[in-house]
């Protein structure tokens, strides 16, 4: 049994978890397999303060760190208990256990993990030929998963009330369309971008080939068959999922097509990593401070948005303007959402993680089927978390070698600089 299990193994059954339930009331939380239950939340559930790294990073259900542990949130309990139950019921392709983990020597502090089973057992990735590739119902998609892989449906309270937040347009065949006309765009088009229309259902399901504890997929309205292009609603749920967690190591990420996305069906990854990452406090430079837009000047260079949970509508609008632009320019990209320090603070400036850093890395496209034995540079690797599929690389690789491999997938400096100027102009409009 995984060390993450501890006192969580007696979980068996609720259908709905309403907003406002305290963590202390969740000690008897149970997770049902059928029917799919709802996790209903509101802004009141966001953890806006008190998130910090402790001397012993594992917190809550499986921890031995004593009274110093911060309590798990209602979201964490729901996800972790459900994930453990699925593990006990045999829904995963392999038993994850406690992965062998080490920090590579050097200033970047890369977190290396050995996960041989994922390399052997995971589903063969789809062959991707274009960032705007249309959804193909004949290939694997998340409408074909086993019902038992579903953890819960996540829904925001009052989600469907009319929004006063900024809207942005979808793009179809190079033509911008906004307002009610945007709702008529075919979601299977090559560059489907949300025009403020919310998805009616978002599922959280296990990744049957997990890379870490709690590895799940966040899938908006699977029946819409949306291709792997970010929408406003999925960006929102990604950021809000991290805000719902009291664990500083809960991360959410996205791989675009051409950036090592495995399945062309819109989804995010979420998982726990009980180790700090350099990007949580890495050096930044302001680009458009009024838009919370910064340059992540550390290697690998990228663009960073920061929030402490306020004005999310405007932030999401700006994030999607950037990713919208990348899709239009046919630039592959990865996105990573993590707890972090405010821009401008010094590296490793303390254990507190008061806000959310959303990092976007534009990068060179990689098309064709993935090489299962290769060192793929996707959202985890860019963030400094390196899941290795073979022991030889795990045992021998150095920080310099990792940096050299990652650098090959990034935009050339001149192209990155030109894109930076274009995005600054776009956000000032």
- Classified as helix, coil or strand, 70 is coil
- Classified as helix, coil or strand, 301 is coil
- Distance (Å, rounded) from C-alpha 61 to C-alpha 4? 7
Q: Exposed (0-12), middle (13-18) or buried (19+): which is 158, by Cβ within 10 Å?
A: exposed
- Maximum Cα interatomic distance, the chain, rounded to a whole number of Å: 58
Tell me whether residue 294 is one of the annotated catalytic residues: no
CA-to-CA dists, residue 110 to 113, 117, 292, 394, angstroms? 10, 21, 27, 12
**Residue 295 backbone phi and psi in degrees, to 5:** -95, 125
CB atoms within 10 A of CB 377: 24
Catalytic residue among 215, 265, 267, 269, which?
A: 267
Contact of 40 with 18, CB cutoff 8 Å: yes
- What is the distance of C-alpha 44 from the center of its chain? 22
As a whole number of Å, the CA-based R_g of the chain is: 20
- Classified as helix, coil or strand, 192 is coil
- Distance (Å, rounded) from C-alpha 287 to C-alpha 304? 10
Contact of 11 with 80, CB cutoff 8 Å: no
- What is the distance of C-alpha 257 from the center of its chain? 15
- Distance (Å, rounded) from C-alpha 191 to C-alpha 95? 37
Beta bridge partners of 111: 103, 385
Q: Exposed (0-12), middle (13-18) or buried (19+): which is 33, by Cβ within 10 Å?
A: middle
- Positions annotated as catalytic residues are 267
């Amino acid at each position: 049994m995984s060390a993450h299990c501890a006192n969580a193994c007696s979980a068996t059954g609720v259908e709905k978890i309403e907003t406002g339930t305290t963590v202390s009331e969740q000690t008897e939380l149970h997770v049902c397999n059928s029917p799919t239950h709802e996790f209903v939340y509101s802004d009141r559930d966001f953890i806006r303060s008190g998130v910090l790294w402790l001397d012993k990073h594992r917190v809550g259900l499986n921890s031995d760190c004593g009274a110093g542990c911060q309590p798990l949130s209602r979201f964490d309990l729901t996800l972790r208990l459900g994930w453990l139950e699925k593990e006990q019921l045999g829904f995963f392709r392999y038993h994850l256990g406690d992965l062998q983990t080490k920090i590579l020597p050097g200033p970047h502090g890369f977190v290396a993990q050995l996960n041989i089973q994922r390399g052997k057992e995971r589903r063969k990735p789809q062959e991707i030929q274009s960032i705007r590739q249309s959804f193909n119902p004949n290939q694997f998609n998340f409408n074909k998963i086993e019902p038992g892989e579903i953890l819960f449906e996540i829904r925001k309270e009052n989600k469907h009330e009319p929004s006063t937040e900024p809207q942005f347009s979808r793009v179809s065949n190079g033509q911008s369309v906004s307002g009610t006309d945007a709702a008529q765009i075919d979601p299977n088009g090559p560059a489907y971008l949300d025009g403020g229309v919310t998805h009616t259902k978002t599922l959280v399901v296990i990744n049957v080939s997990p890379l870490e504890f709690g590895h799940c997929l966040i899938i908006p309205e699977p029946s819409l068959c949306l291709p792997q292009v970010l929408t406003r609603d999925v960006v929102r749920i990604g950021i809000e999922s991290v805000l719902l967690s009291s664990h500083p190591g809960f991360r959410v990420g996205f791989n675009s097509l051409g950036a090592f996305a495995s399945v062309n069906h819109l989804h995010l990854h979420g998982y726990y990593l009980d180790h700090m990452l350099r990007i949580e406090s890495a050096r930044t430079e302001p680009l458009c401070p009024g838009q919370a837009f910064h340059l992540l000047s550390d290697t690998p260079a990228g663009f960073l948005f920061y929030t402490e949970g306020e004005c999310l509508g405007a932030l999401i609008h700006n994030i999607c303007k950037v990713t919208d632009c990348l899709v239009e320019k046919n630039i592959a990209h990865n996105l990573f959402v993590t707890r972090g320090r405010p821009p401008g603070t010094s590296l490793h400036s303390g254990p507190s993680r008061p806000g959310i850093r959303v990092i976007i890395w534009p990068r060179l496209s990689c098309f064709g089927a993935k090489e299962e034995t290769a060192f793929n540079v996707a959202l985890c690797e860019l963030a400094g978390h390196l899941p290795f599929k073979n022991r030889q690389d795990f045992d021998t690789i150095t920080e310099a070698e990792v940096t050299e491999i990652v650098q090959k997938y990034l935009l050339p400096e001149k192209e990155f600089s030109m894109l930076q100027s274009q995005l600054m102009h776009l956000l000032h409009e």
